Structure 1
Amino acid sequence: MNLDAIWSKLFGKIPVAEKTLGDYLSALPLFQGLSGRELRALEQQVYLRRYAEGEVIFREGDPSFGMYIVVSGAISIERRVPDERRIILATLLPGDFLGEMGLMDDAPRSATAVAKGPSEAIGLFGPELQKLTQHHPDLGLKIFTSVGRSLCSRLRRANEELQRIPRAQESIVRGAGHE
């Protein structure tokens, strides 16, 4: 069975009456600047999926196959903590993407993604991106560059948050000393 058949069976290419996948793709910040030809090529390799409230997109520990871009609704990224509670790490909105590490390596998913109401996401999976890159190397480079820039931005924000922790701890310690 070929990969297209597997992905179509798992994720289904949903016909969209009012919008094409290309319309969705061209509106996403991740794909800004792609030409019409590039968007049409990309459109052939992605999958639109609708999720019901509470539906799991992927679970922590699942194999990674690729990434998703939120088109509508909201998706929360959750992680299990030692006492078995789940904490929400982030809530992603249209234009945000998740699971991008699945394009880079085969490590298991590091968190669980859950639809926070009716949501739509576009899936771009490793085998399709590889095929796209073989046939359209410039397009593959543009996609990886865009994902890379977004990852750099996320890393910078995470570093800024980490730098705030010692200051917050210091403030708490000073406040506790005045009681």
Structure 2
Amino acid sequence: MHTLWHTLQHAYQRLFQAQEDAHTRELLHILRHVPIFQHLPRRTLRTLLPYLHARTYRRHEVLYFEGDPGLGLYIITRGTVRLLTENEHGQLEELTRLSEYDTCGHLALLGEFRRLETAQAATEVQVLGFFRPDLKLLLRRHPTAGAAILQAVARYVAARQVELVGLLEQCANRRQALIWLQEAGRRAEHRLPSLLSER
């Protein structure tokens, strides 16, 4: 009887472990396809997994509104999200659509930035949320992995800035694009004290 109990116990543990591993493999597969995280070591991605939150949104449901305080990043794992902004007449206009492995809201990981756009589910949408409090907790518990993830987000933001200068050049010229970038930097400096003092 004692042997039978141990056999059943080990069989249950193996079954549970197999299910857990399948779920872990699925999450790692998703992160491997997300541009922000795809170059991080597998070990770092595994450390991130417990800090991700799975959420489902119905069609037309809003993930966040333009002007809301940003809390974190959303990774789309299924469905389509519309990014919208309000025009001068108060009507929402579509900026773009995001789908599987795309992200939105990444700036909120770096500080208390308000949302620049509204994110709305165009279909039923499944996402993984990674929020600023989770990043702070991760940095305390796993400093090396947390620093690597934070660096990956910062690198992504920097790459977007470089591409933005290229797009601005098409609107004016390189000199004007860089002038706008410098002006944006000066304006940002006024916000830095409040961002750096954030707890």
TM-score of the pair, normalised by structure 1? 0.74
Unaligned runs of 5+ in 2: 1-19, 174-199
Query: Which whole-Å deviations, capped at 9, do the CAs of 1:121-178 have from their partners, x for residues lacking one?
Result: 11001111111011111211221222122222222222222221248xxxxxxxxxxx
2:164 — aligned with what?
Answer: 158
Q: Deviations over 1:74-130 (max 9, x none)?
A: 212111112112122222222221111111121322211011212221100111111
Greater Rg by CA: 2
Query: Which residue of 2 is the match for residue 101 of structure 1?
Result: 107
Aligned to 1:115: 121
Flag as ranges the 4+ runs of structure 1 deviating above 6 A: none
Q: Secondary structure at the match of 1:29?
A: coil
For the 8 Å contact 2:84–2:119, the answer to whether it is kept is yes
Which residue pairs with 2:74 in the alignment? 68
- Report percent identity of matched pairs: 30
Aligned-partner residue type, residue 86 of structure 1: L
Q: CA RMSD in A?
A: 2.3
Q: Deviation at 1:67? A: 1.0
Aligned length: 152
- Give the corresponding residue for 2:135: 129
Q: Deviation per CA, 1:8-58, whole angstroms, max 9, x where unpaired?
A: xxxxxxxx9x74434433443322244444333211111011222211000
Higher helix residue share: 2
- Give the equivalent residue in structure 1 for 2:179: none
1:88 aligns with 2:104: no
Equivalent AA in structure 2 for residue 165 of structure 1? C
Are 2:57 and 1:59 equivalent residues in the alignment? no
